[in-house]
Amino acid sequence: MAIVAECPVCHRKQSVKAKACPCGANLDNEKKNKKVRYHIIYRRDGKQVWRSLSTFKDVDPCSVEDARTVEGQFRTCRKEKRLEVFDIKPGTDMTFNALSEWYLALESVKEKKSYDIIAFNLASFNQEFGHHLLSTIKPTDLESYQVRRRKEGYADSYIDQQIGRARTAVEKAFGDELIDGEAVRTFDRVKKLVKRNQLTKKASNARERILTQDEYQTLMLFLPEHIKLAFAMALYTGMRKGEILNLTWDKVDLEARLIELKAADTKDNEARTIPIGEELYRMLMEHRKPEGYVIQFRGKPVKDIRTAIRGACKKANIPYGRNVKNGITFHDLRHTFNTMMRKAGVDRNVTMTITGHSTEEMNRHYDTVDTEDMRSAIRQFENLLQNRSIH
């Protein structure tokens, strides 16, 4: 157990005897100005825990004398297993590791289709903050985390996702009154790295790539037969990859030319009916089987199609990959479907019903306005001017 001082400038924790911080701050002056906060460090269940003096009532978090008094009392009470004598604020004794374990054990969370991703994000976040008490995490700590992750090469969207998952767990704990609102306010004060256009609401990192008809036809020449069907289904229905790869023949009504997805089959847990057009109908009839998965190889379901698409792109001399300039991904077919439906003049509500988009914002995210759209708009504008007199 020990007492450490927190630099008010960079928030580095260090010895209470330190006179200057490596960041250049004069700690002696900061201590006199009551800007240095103190923490008590101890081990619990084999893990290091940081407890800020601010978690105790009637204690000055910037007083080293109070810190020494609390440390002495804390040592005695820990030895005698009488920690309840401390008047601690609700939830301030909870580490982020403990919060994560509680959150991931919730039945409502375990039922989520994204459970594995949530668990992975929280595990990554815990590598940095797991041993910290929630009450000691400050907005500047999270901002520093963003900076470090960026330097490590992680995408802004990935960093936002990690902090977002942590924020959701904190909000859930607050809703159940396990913690007070300070931790929620801490996360709320941290801005996302990915910005959104105030007009279109699109994220700054939103993909704008759609496939041209020539690219689609060329890739179809090089794709394996079973992947061709998945590729065509994505283009002609706008279905998600998971919906396509998990689709079984009992959900395909070729007589009515409809695909019937149940709530459990979709990302947003809402049942959806998708019409089958002529080209897709022809391909489905060619691959028709009495039962099993629609997309299968040698009788087994297909789990990954990236290798096949990457290989086809290489043969077709088309860039592949999300982080490759002008590169394509399978998910871009969903963007292409949305965009082409709008160009074809289809009502957006109809498109949203087919794709399963519940908000206008998400629909705009998948609808790409390209150069030809803007040129067409200017031609319409010029035609209007030519047919009307301007006063």
CATH code where residue 284 lies: 1.10.443.10
Average pLDDT across the chain, whole number: 82
Number of other CB atoms surrounding residue 50 within 10 Å: 20
Of 40-49, 166-175, 303-312, 371-380, the least confident = 371-380
pTM of the shown model: 0.54
Same domain, 224 and 356: yes
| Torsions phi, psi for 296 (to 5 deg) | -145, 160
Task: Kindly indicate the confidence band of residue 205, based on its pLDDT and cuts at 50, 70 and 90.
Answer: very low
Residue 91 CA: distances (Å) to CA of 52, 103, 256: 13, 14, 57
Task: Kindly indicate the confidence band of residue 7, based on its pLDDT and cuts at 50, 70 and 90.
Answer: confident
Task: Give the model confidence (pLDDT) of 240-290 as tens digits.
Answer: 999 999 999 999 999 988 899 998 888 878 888 888 888 899 999 999 988
Same domain, 234 and 291: yes
Same domain, 175 and 226: no
Token pair 């157990």 in the structure block, residue: 1
| Rounded Cα–Cα distance for residues 292 and 301 (Å) | 8
| Rounded Cα–Cα distance for residues 218 and 312 (Å) | 9
Contacts 24+ apart (CB under 8 A), 323-331: 326/209, 327/209, 328/209, 328/211, 328/215, 329/207, 329/209, 330/230, 330/231, 330/234, 330/241, 330/305, 330/306, 331/207, 331/240, 331/241
* Angle in degrees, CA 181, 184, 189, rounded to 5: 125
Same domain, 241 and 303: yes
Asked if 74 contacts 86 with a C-beta cutoff of 8 angstroms, the reply is yes
Same domain, 261 and 362: yes
* pLDDT at residue 54, rounded to an integer: 72
| Rounded Cα–Cα distance for residues 175 and 103 (Å) | 12
pLDDT > 90? residue 354? no
Same domain, 221 and 368: yes
Of 43-57, 126-140, 147-161, 356-370, the least confident = 356-370
User: Residue 156: which domain range?
Assistant: 96-188
* pLDDT at residue 204, rounded to an integer: 46
104 domain-assigned: yes
DSSP-assigned letters across all residues of 183-196: HHHHHHTSPPSS-B
pLDDT > 80? residue 34? yes
Same domain, 11 and 80: yes
* pLDDT at residue 213, rounded to an integer: 87
